[in-house]
């Protein structure tokens, strides 16, 4: 009997903590607006924000789901916003398109364009949106597995269309 009451209290505490952890984890995947001093973007439901150490990366997020088969270690969709100081849109676009492992698909002279990458037999479709302000170019890259792009198109469109500079 002496151990029953402390044991029940411990179980109750564990259930409470477990419920709080699950609720917090679920909240992390809810849609939310993200604002910094330079930009705003909407993180779609089912995505989680990644914190990093690179000061040029202003925003990074990826989807909860992974690919299948050969792509089972790759997130279905990821998004990154990078700030390029002292580069105009043309310079950033040219650097992206000159990258050897990417093939230009469309929008060669546009601020929004798409490329394909093949990484170990896994096809990744990259969609870019470039915006410029005060001598800095901001690059939004949304990368999606080709096999699941169609089912994630709504989230991809939300990321791209919500990206704004202040």
Task: Please give the C-alpha separations between residue 24 and each of 33, 47, 50, 96, in angstroms, as whole numbers.
Answer: 17, 14, 16, 37
Phi, psi of 159 (to 5 degrees): -60, -50
Q: What would the pLDDT profile of 43-83 be if each residue is shown by its tens digit?
A: 999 999 988 888 889 999 999 999 988 888 899 999 999 99
**What kind and span of H or E run contains 24?**
helix 4-28
Q: What would the pLDDT profile of 90-122 be if each residue is shown by its tens digit?
A: 899 888 888 645 555 555 556 888 888 888 889
* The model's pTM: 0.80
The pLDDT of residue 100 is 47
> Burial level of 71, CB count in 10 A (0-12/13-18/19+)?
buried
> Burial level of 159, CB count in 10 A (0-12/13-18/19+)?
buried
Average pLDDT, the chain: 86
Q: What would the pLDDT profile of 7-27 be if each residue is shown by its tens digit?
A: 778 888 888 888 888 777 767
What is the number of other CB atoms lying within 10 angstroms of the CB of residue 163?
A: 20
Q: Are 137 and 96 in contact (CB under 8 A)?
A: no
Q: Are 109 and 92 in contact (CB under 8 A)?
A: no
């Amino acid at each position: 009997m002496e151990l029953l009451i402390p044991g029940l209290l411990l179980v109750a505490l564990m259930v409470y903590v477990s419920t709080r952890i699950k609720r917090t984890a679920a909240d992390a995947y809810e849609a939310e607006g993200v604002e910094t001093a330079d930009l705003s973007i909407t993180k779609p439901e089912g995505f989680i924000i990644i914190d990093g150490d690179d000061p040029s990366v202003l925003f990074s997020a990826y989807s909860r789901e992974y690919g299948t088969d050969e792509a089972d270690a790759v997130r279905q969709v990821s998004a990154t916003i990078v700030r390029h100081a002292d580069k105009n849109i043309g310079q950033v676009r040219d650097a992206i398109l000159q990258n050897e492992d990417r093939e230009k698909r469309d929008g060669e002279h546009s601020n929004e364009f798409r490329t394909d990458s093949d990484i170990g037999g896994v096809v990744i479709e990259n969609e870019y949106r470039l915006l410029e302000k005060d001598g800095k170019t901001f690059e939004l890259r949304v990368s999606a597995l080709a096999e699941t792009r169609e089912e994630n198109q709504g989230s991809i469109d939300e990321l791209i269309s919500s990206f704004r500079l202040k």
